[in-house]
Amino acid sequence: MRIEQNYSLEQHNTFHIPVKTRWFIEYNNEEELQRVLHDEYFQECLSLHIGSGSNLLFLNDYNGIIFHSNIKGVNLVEETDNSVLLRIGAAEKWDDVVAYAVSNGWSGIENLSLIPGETGAAAIQNIGAYGVEIKDVVETVETYNQLSFEKRIFTNKECEYAYRRSYFKNEHNDPHIVTYVNLRLQKNTQFSINYGNLKEELAKYPEITLATIREAIITIRKEKLPDPAVLGNAGSFFMNPLISIEHFERIKKQYPSIPFYPTTENKIKIPAGWLIEQCGFKGKSHGAVGVYEKQALVLVNLGDAKGHEIALVAESIRSAVNERFGIELMPEVKYVG
Ligand code: EPU
């Protein structure tokens, strides 16, 4: 187990904000996690469990414990004629898992290529891209309850998945720490290629395979999204809002080319990036905070931006979108502090 005091989180958040935490604790296995959860001193402290910090905005130094898992491993625990079940340590880098699945010919997560972050956080956040969400392949999620210390295995249904939501993100529930994620992947390749310009990109390849889908997705993402290692960012800063059909019709009269996604509910999902672009923010910067020039949904740290400066720009975007469209944007990024 690794325990650090007054530790910089600069390399643990993809905005690269140089805040410090009073304690940083990294455990290597479930036994170490149990031990630290039972520690009376640490129980008194404020705490937050992070993955690679690719969806966090630190506003201040953190006066508590930041937990980080170092539970690794990808194990094939079951194989049938049609599918495999993989048990994956929460600290496994998500994109390594995707690369491994694709190289073995197992389908289901290839559309989720190159999403930053670790596997535990991916299951909490219900990551999604190009028409696929991790919920489509999650069989179970193994956890520890941070208050009762009990181990619990959540079925997919018990995870209460919805767009960028889950049981684990709901602050009314007891905090749960994810230790392992079990994914069911398919051996027969069922591709999902109808989202946006994925088909167009795939037309450049001689055939459609798991490997070419992964390559196409990586190409599209690299074109649109900044690499957090080069330019600090946390991907989409806001969620795409859902609005009523009447509301959508009213906006459409004024903006006939408004893009939208159909949803299964009686609502229409609007790309927040489009709303932000319409309000004139795309490519603009405010001090060290930029609105990415190729995708307005992404806020970037141009150098030494502070968390609260990013939050201020986000707030001015929210009010501009609300004023012009009557739509309230909700951050996808979690504010800390
Ligand atoms: N658009 C604009 N201007 C912009 C950006 C987007 O007009 O600056 C419009 C365009 O019409 C474009 C449409 O929005 O066709 C959709 O854009 P894009 O395909 O980039 O997807 P998105 O809805 O902005 C969502 C996810 C992304 C995910 C992509 C692809 C959310 C909040 N974001 O973005 O996820 O990669 O779809 O599936 O749902 C993330 O969560 O961090 C993330 C990057």
85, 77 contact by CB (below 8 A): yes
| Rounded Cα gap, residues 202 and 212, in angstroms | 7
CATH code at 82?
A: 3.30.465.10
Q: What is the pLDDT of residues 131-150, one digit of tens each?
A: 999 999 999 999 999 999 99
Those residues with Cβ within 8 angstroms of residue 8's Cβ, 6 or more apart along the chain or in another chain: 18, 19, 20
- Do residues 273 and 212 share a domain? no
Q: Which of 92, 118, 201, 332 is catalytic?
A: 332
- Please work out whether the CB of residue 242 comes within 6 Å of at least one atom of ligand 1: no
Q: Of the residues 12, 46, 69, which one is the last residue of a structural domain?
A: 69
The band of 60, judged by pLDDT with boundaries at 50, 70 and 90, is very high
pLDDT score of 190 more than 90:
no
- The verdict on pTM exceeding 0.85 is yes
- Do residues 217 and 292 share a domain? no
CATH code at 282?
A: 3.90.78.10
The band of 90, judged by pLDDT with boundaries at 50, 70 and 90, is very high
Total number of domains in the chain: 3
- The SS3 of residue 133 is strand
Those residues with Cβ within 8 angstroms of residue 51's Cβ, 6 or more apart along the chain or in another chain: 68, 69, 90, 91, 117, 118, 120, 121, 122
CATH code at 34?
A: 3.30.43.10
Looking at the chain, the whole-number percentage of residues with pLDDT higher than 70 is 100
Q: Which of 164, 165, 318, 324 is catalytic?
A: 164
Q: Report the nearest-CA residue for atom 21 of ligand 1.
A: 271
Give the position, in ligand 1's atom list, of the atom nearest the Cα of 292: 8
- Do residues 64 and 83 share a domain? no
- Do residues 202 and 112 share a domain? yes
Q: Of the residues 179, 201, 221, which one is the last residue of a structural domain?
A: 221
Query: How much is the mean pLDDT over the chain?
Result: 96
- Please work out whether the CB of residue 196 comes within 6 Å of at least one atom of ligand 1: yes
Mutation pick for ligand 1 pocket among 134, 194, 236, 330 (CB with most ligand atoms within 8 Å): 236
Full residue range of the structural domain in which residue 325 is found:
226-336
